[in-house]
Amino acid sequence: MDALRVKERLETALGARVTALAPMPVGFGLTGFKVDLADGRRLAVKARQASARVDLRLEGYMLGELARDSTLPVPAVRLCEPDLLVMDFIETDGGGITPQVERHAAELIATLHAVPRPSFGYERDTLIGPLPQPNPQMDRWIPFFRDHRLLAMAGAAQAEGRLPAQLLIRLERLAERLDSYLAEPRHPSLLHGDLWTGNVLVRGQRIAGFVYPAIYCGHPEIELAFTTMFGTFGPAFFEAYEALLPLEPGFHELRSGLYKLYPTLIHVRLFGSTYVPPIERTLAHLGL
């Protein structure tokens, strides 16, 4: 959808004239815009291109769920249609993720994880980036992670020709032994689901917002593992988080790497074979 069509749709739906419209990077076959309206509102807009298959209503749904069921700062959704998502624009100051920001993030994420949820999975399937994320509701975490995260993403990657068949066999071997490495959490927790640097907005040494969620209910450790994949959060975050929700021994030494297999498989599907070697190294470390 081009800028002119976006402008027309916004003015009709929101009842205000668009005074400024600037490109904003979003990716995955979508076009982003930073929009100013004559009534003073500033919006972030995502529009779907004809070639993209993503239904933007799912992202709007996930943001709405976080706004309703958590205290995480997320943008309010103003319009949510299959090909158009309109949110409040979150102002940032260009600052990086400092230790002070990490500590604030830890407070927010620990508060999210501390609330018991009724089951693993969710009331409906969601997305992570442009990829489907199945969420059948289950009573146990390890079977959920095995079947609907690790094996589901690995199987899709292999079917698309992105993951070598032999590597899928090794991942299936790991799946048979997950009870040896993982434990059930105290309770299911609602997860943002995609906590990496690009989805964390900062202003004034504080978290201004979390964007692009991939929600479901799961083990907090998989969320924490995500934050280490690209160095989003470090020691200051974990020190503050563990002061509120202590981790069981072995997370940093073993389980974080195991849980990172899931986002790494996502990157294999989206970006190709560059992300295969980290999977091989993790499996080799486990003797598989």
Cα(32)–Cα(21) distance, integer angstroms = 10
Region(s) of the chain under CATH 3.30.200.20: 3-88
Instruction: Answer yes or no: is pLDDT of 95 > 90.
Output: no
Q: Which residues pair with 217 in a beta bridge?
A: 121, 190
Cα(77)–Cα(243) distance, integer angstroms = 33
Region(s) of the chain under CATH 3.90.1200.10: 99-285
CATH architecture of 3-88: 2-Layer Sandwich (3.30)
Give the residue from 288, 287, 261 showing the smallest Cα distance to 276. 261
Strand (E) or helix (H) holding 189 = strand 189-191
Res. 94 pLDDT band, cuts 50 70 90: confident
Instruction: Answer yes or no: is pLDDT of 50 > 90.
Output: no
- Helix ranges (DSSP H) in the chain: 3-14, 56-69, 99-114, 141-145, 151-159, 165-176, 178-181, 220-229, 235-244, 256-259, 261-271, 276-285
Radius of gyration (Cα) for the chain, nearest Å? 20
Q: What is the pLDDT of residues 240-278, one digit of tens each?
A: 999 999 999 999 999 999 999 999 999 999 999 999 999
Residue numbers annotated as active site? 194
Q: What is the pLDDT of residue 27?
A: 80
Please state the rounded mean pLDDT for residues 206-212: 96
CATH of domain 99-285: 3.90.1200.10
Instruction: Answer yes or no: is pLDDT of 28 > 90.
Output: no
